Amino acid sequence: MRLLSAFLLLALATTAAASEDERNAAWCAEKHGITVEQLRDQRGEVYEVVIPGGRVDCVWNGYAIEADWIHRVDGCMGQATRYARVMGLKPGCLLLVGQEKDCKWLTRALEATAGSWTQVGEAMYRLRVWIDGRCEQ
C-alpha cells in the first residue's frame, strides 16, 4: 500500500513539474493529433495552426483543442470556442491538473463546461472536455 501511495505521489509530482506545452504535446501525441511543433513544411519550417490572435494547441478528430490549467477553465472555454469558429471545427478543452490542490477546481470546471454549445457555421457543437491528471473525488 505504501509503495502504491509513493508511486501515485511521484506520478502527481512528475505531472505537476511538466509545463503546459509539454503536457499538451504528450496528450496530443498519444491521441495522434497535430500540435504546433509537428506542423512543418517540406523545408522544415513551421506553418503553425495559427489564427488571428492565437494558435490552436492541438487539432484532433475534428476538434480545435485549447490546453490550459484547470483553474483557467473559463479562458480555455473562450479560446476553444473562438478557435473552433475560426477553423470550422468542434471546440475542445484539455484541462490540466498539476497538483492535488488543483482538484478543488474540478467540480467548478465540470459545471462551467456542462451544456456549453458553440455555433460553427450552421452546426451546433457541444464543448468537449478532457482532464489530464488525477483527482480523488
Angle at 24 between CA 70 and CA 76, to 5 degrees: 40
In a domain, 127, yes or no: yes
- Please give the average per-residue pLDDT across 64-88, as a whole number: 90
Asked if residue 63 is part of any domain, the answer here is yes
Report if residue 88 sits inside a domain: yes
pLDDT in the model for residue 15: 46
Q: What is the pTM of this model?
A: 0.74
Domain holding 107, by residue range, is: 2-132
CA atoms within 13 A on the CB side of 97: 20
Query: Is 103 part of a structural domain of the chain?
Result: yes
137 within a domain of the structure (yes/no)? no
Which tens digits make up the pLDDT trace of 20-29?
Answer: 888 988 898 8
Within a domain: 65: yes
Residue of higher predicted confidence among 38 and 83: 83
Work out the average pLDDT over 73-79.
91
pLDDT over 70 (residue 62): yes
pLDDT class of 137 with cuts at 50, 70, 90: low
> Please, are residues 105 and 71 in contact by the beta-carbon 8 Å criterion?
yes
76 lies in some domain? yes
| Domains of the chain: total | 1
Domain membership of residue 106 (yes or no) is yes
